[in-house]
Amino acid sequence: MKLNVIKSKPKNASAIIIHHKNKILLNLRSNKKNIFYPNYWGLLGGAKEKRENLRLTAIREFEEETSKKIIKKNLFFFNKINFSFPNNPNKIILRYYYTYKIQDLKIFKKNFVLTEGLTYKFFNYSEIKNIKNIVPYDKLAIDMFYSKPWKN
């Protein structure tokens, strides 16, 4: 896959692993040439703004992309991943991952409006392993998520 070079690459970003029972919410990203991994499945999240910590980035991005408020006490730091792209290996991007456990899926889906991307779906891990067009660094975070016993 050839990745389009995006002129303003973020230095830091955040994403949320939204999970309910054994499934994770993924968003099918828009098919726009000016974004990372267009038309790929990925987690909700995005670039950090100035004077914003990475936890607040995750919250803001989730709320911007879904029009839904998050219960902040249910958001937990999970992991961070450093990555670079083959066309610019010296440019390191740090992506923080948080987890958010949904207690009641019906309540969560009520008033849930996807404002970025084409669609969304909750996938179990065996389904995720078979997705060909998934954002690689999000896939790595998801693999790590499923490799640990989670209680939160």
- pLDDT range class, residue 6, cuts 50, 70, 90: very low
Range in 28-42, 77-91, 117-131 the model is least confident about: 77-91
Position 1 scores a pLDDT of: 41
Query: How high is the pLDDT of residue 150?
Result: 54
Q: Which neighbouring-strand residues pair with 124?
A: 23
CA angle 134, 138, 143 (to 5 degrees): 95
Cα separation of 36 and 143, whole Å? 20
The better pLDDT of the pair 18, 2 is held by 18
Q: If you ran DSSP here, which 8-state letter would residue 80 be given? A: E
Per-residue pLDDT at 145 exceeds 80: yes
For range 38-54, the mean pLDDT: 92
pLDDT band per the 50, 70, 90 thresholds, residue 92: confident
96 vs 58: CA distance, rounded Å: 8
Q: Which pair of structure tokens corresponds to residue 66?
A: 């879904």
The owner of tokens 């990745």 is 3
Identify the CA nearest to 117 among candidates 49, 35, 50, 47. 35
Binning the chain into helix, strand and coil, the percentages to the nearest 5 are 25, 35, 40
**pLDDT over 90 (residue 41):** yes
Could you tell me which of 149, 135, 46 has the C-alpha nearest to residue 97? 46
Q: What is the pTM of this model?
A: 0.86
